Amino acid sequence: MEPISLPTLGKPLISIGRALAPLVKQLRAERQAGVDSAHVKADLLDAALEKTLNRLLPHLGGPIPMLMNRLDKQGQGPRGHPNLAEAPSVTARRFYYDTVCYGSKPAFLCALEAFGADHIVTGSDYPVLQDWEVYRETFAYIERLGLPKEVTDEILHHNAQKLFGFDH
C-alpha cells in the first residue's frame, strides 16, 4: 500500500483512515467473531509502518489513548508481541492525531496526556461534522478547554504546519 505523498514536503503523509482499510475490514470480521479489539489495536501499532512516514489518525486516535497501558502490557507479554522493537505507546507517540471529537473535553484531555500537545493537529471532519455543529465550533471548543495559551496556539496554529513541513 503506497502512502499519500506530497512531493514538496519531504516525508510522505499516510492517512490511517484510508491506508488501513484492509485492517478495518479485518477488524469488523474479527469483531463479529468475538476477537478482543485491543489485540487488533496492538496489531495496528505493530504494523511496522516505517518510522520515516508521518501518520495522521482521525478522532484523537479513537480508543488508542485510553488503551495505551493495556497495549504496552499485552504487546510485550509472552502471549503478545514479544518481538516489538518498542512499546506500542512509544510508537503511538510518533503519530499525529486530529482534534475531531465533537467537543468532548474528556476525550481531548485523554489524547493530550497520552500523545502530547505537539502531536495533536486541527481537524474538521468536514462536511460530516456540519450535521451536528456549526463549523466555527469545530475549533472554538479547543480555546474553552482551559489549556495554557501556548498549548492552544501550538495545536491550533503550529502543529499542522510542522506536520506538513511549512514554515511557522
Question: SS3 for 130?
Answer: helix
Instruction: Specify the residue for cell string 471529537.
Output: 101
A 10 A CB-CB count for 44 gives: 20
Q: Could you tell me if 10 and 165 are in contact, meaning their C-beta atoms sit under 8 angstroms apart?
A: yes
Q: In sequence order, which residues have a C-beta less than 8 Å from that of residue 128 and are 6 or more positions away?
A: none
Nearest to 20 by CA among 32, 3, 42: 3
Per-residue pLDDT of 17-59, as tens digits, reads: 444 445 445 545 555 555 555 455 555 554 544 454 567 888 9
Q: Whats the size of the chain, residue-wise?
A: 168
Nearest to 13 by CA among 163, 168, 166: 163
Nearest to 132 by CA among 110, 109, 101: 101
Per-residue pLDDT of the chain (168 residues; tens, 9 = 90+): 344 434 334 444 444 444 444 544 554 555 555 555 545 555 555 454 445 456 788 899 988 999 888 888 876 666 766 677 788 888 889 889 999 998 899 999 999 999 999 999 998 887 777 788 888 888 899 999 999 999 999 999 999 998 888 876
- pTM for the predicted model, two decimal places: 0.69
Map out the domains of the chain with their CATH numbers. 7-164 (3.20.20.140)
Distance CA 26, CA 158 (A): 35
